[in-house]
Amino acid sequence: MSEISNEWSAFADRIAVHAQNYLDGLTRLAGGEGGDAVLPLLLVEVAQVSSAGAQLGASQDVILSENWEPHLSADPDVDPLRTALAERLGPVDDYAEVFDPYKDTAVTPYRLSDDLTAVAADLIHGLRHYRAGRPLEALWWWQYSYFNTWGNHAGAAMRALQALVAHTRLDVAEERTTV
């Protein structure tokens, strides 16, 4: 393991907890837990892991001394999780999003199940480094992939989930009152 400061080590510990909590929550929700509250519960999971992402984005760049990522075997297949989420989300899985409001303003079709598992895949990869005793490599991966992929997917999913939750709360038929 490369020598890292206590501050970096503590930061890696905190991000690892967020990552594992997201994966555990996502797996439970994909497996059917949460009942009718699946959308608000997914919103909470994404918001909490996005908080970890914001911390990664706000911290200084993580630089590996060797400037390369140690080899890992193939990451586990997250497609069964994606499929379970797609089945659970059904007709609300598909949505539209602007990928990059500054460079690519075209509306792009997205799937919540794809976004949620893209986040999971990047978090898993970092957790594998973390569990192998390489917390700096884990931080590097989480930060790099936050800027490159999972931050965008989490943000898009959070916007879609917030809209869905808002619609379920606000788009109700007006109750008639009798006078």
The answer to whether residue 175 is domain-embedded is: no
- The CATH number assigned to the domain holding 71 equals 1.20.120
What pLDDT is attached to residue 2? 47
The answer to whether residue 62 is domain-embedded is: yes
Q: Whole-angstrom Cα distance, residue 18 to residue 10?
A: 13
Inform me whether the pLDDT recorded for 177 exceeds 80: no
C-beta separation of 150 from 118 below 8 A: yes
Q: Is 111 helix (H, G, I), strand (E, B) or coil?
A: strand
Higher-pLDDT residue of 65, 78: 78
The answer to whether residue 111 is domain-embedded is: yes
Inform me whether the pLDDT recorded for 106 exceeds 90: no
pTM of the complete model: 0.87
Query: What residue numbers bound the domain in which 119 lies?
Result: 6-170
Q: Which of 3-17, 34-48, 92-106 has the lowest mean pLDDT?
A: 92-106
